[in-house]
Structure 1
Amino acid sequence: MKRSTITTVAALAIAAGVPNVAQADSPDPASLAICDGGWKTDIYAQSKKHLGKGPIYKDGPGGTMVLTRTQAGTASTAITAGGGVTVSGIVAEAKIEVSRESVAAVSWDTQHQFRRDVTRGKYGNAQYGSWGHSVKWQKYYQLPNCKKTQVTHGTADIANTTIGFKYWETSS
């Protein structure tokens, strides 16, 4: 079979939607994917993180810790490493990939009472803030053949609309 005949058969098969058929003169026969290309931001790792704001309260040893938060505050999303992305861009991606409750900033101004028994001989610690996430992100340019060229990467702490006290105990 002549090369032009092979190319014609392959072109007809592609037009007919036959999978895994590529042109014989294609430099990469397996690469028929087509992507929209352009700049993309992607979150590829996440973990829950309390974004504490304001004082850390300490009580003990032992007993009961009672706190009433009356001071207003705000916890904000922050890009902690890397560059080339905006807070609004990272929050938009986080709403898709991490939590739809992700926000650029969350504020509070109402009273919140917290009560916790402290283990005997230990000290109770508490801090108010947003129950958000720590993420790793990358920004890259995607070529029409779906290959990525990574431009930059970094980390960010993303605020969430869920707020409250974080509690932990220490020996001193």
Structure 2
Amino acid sequence: MMKRAAITAVAMLAIAGVPNVAQADSPDPGAFAICDGGWKTDIYAQSKKHLGKGPVYKDGPGGTLVLARTQAGTASTAITAGAGVTVSGIVAEAKIEVSREAVKAVSWGTQHQYRRDITRGKYGNAQHGSWGHAVKWQKYYQLPDCKKTQVTHGTADVANTVIGFKYWETTS
């Protein structure tokens, strides 16, 4: 019995010594939360986006769009709205939250082949680029009690190492 009481006492001291464990009787469960605080960048929304670079190739109406050689190019991550973050910071956060293939920039050479049948009466269009993401980000200061004070927010287009053609059809 003495051994059980000693273990219970040690367990109670261990729980009491952990600052971020809320007590069951506490009216505010987050009252004991402790965060590391400081400036944080967070991506809170994302969607796939083709970041096309260079010329748009067009053929038709109808038939087949054939590209044997395209223009070399580079697609880069760019902050499209907002201020207070860096491209490196957005790419680092995107690697964690969106895609591990996120990069500051991706380049390609001129040797590409692409073939696509065009619907009768329509024009086929193609552009080479990075299959990246459009993201929404926020930069905030986190207080030691884990509350956030939002400082700024914005959007960015994040390049990806996956490259290729985007194809679409038009009526003219």
Q: TM-score range by the shorter chain?
A: 0.7 to 0.9
In the aligned structure 1, how far is the partner of 2:63 from the partner of 2:29?
71
Extract structure 1 runs of 4+ deviating beyond 4 A: 11-14, 16-19, 21-24
What is the CA-CA distance between 1:51 and the residue it aligns to? 0.2
Gaps of 5+ in 2: 1-11
User: Using a 3 Å threshold, how does the CA distance of structure 1 residues 13 and 80 change in structure 2: closer, same or farther?
Assistant: same
- Which of 15, 20, 23 is the equivalent residue of 1:20? 23
Q: How does 1:1-172 map to 2 (within 5 A)?
A: 15=16, 19-21=22-24, 30-172=30-172
For 2:113, what is the secondary structure of its paired residue? strand
- Cα distance per residue 1:21-69 (max 9 Å; x no partner): 4679xxx564211111000000000000000000111111100000123
Distance 1:67 1:23, change over 3 A: closer
Deviation at residue 20 of structure 1 after TM alignment: 2.5
Once the 2 structures are TM-superposed, how far is the Cα of residue 16 of structure 1 from its aligned partner? 6.3
TM-score (normalised: structure 1):
0.85
Residue deviations 1:98-130, cap 9 Å, x none? 000000000111401000000001110000100
Report if the CA contact (8 A) 1:14-1:21 is conserved.
Answer: no
Partner SS state of residue 40, structure 1: strand
Q: Work out the number of aligned pairs and report it.
A: 159
Partner of 1:3: none
Shift in alpha-carbon separation, 1:34–1:62, aligned structure 2, 3 A: same
- 2:3 matched residue in structure 1: none
- What secondary structure sits across from 1:93 in the alignment? helix
Taking structure 2 as the reference length, the TM-score comes to 0.85
RMSD: 2.1
Segments of 5+ residues of structure 1 without an aligned counterpart are 1-10
Question: Shift of the alpha carbon at 1:15?
Answer: 1.3
Preserved CA contact (<8 Å) 1:135 1:155 = yes
Q: CA deviation at 1:70?
A: 3.8
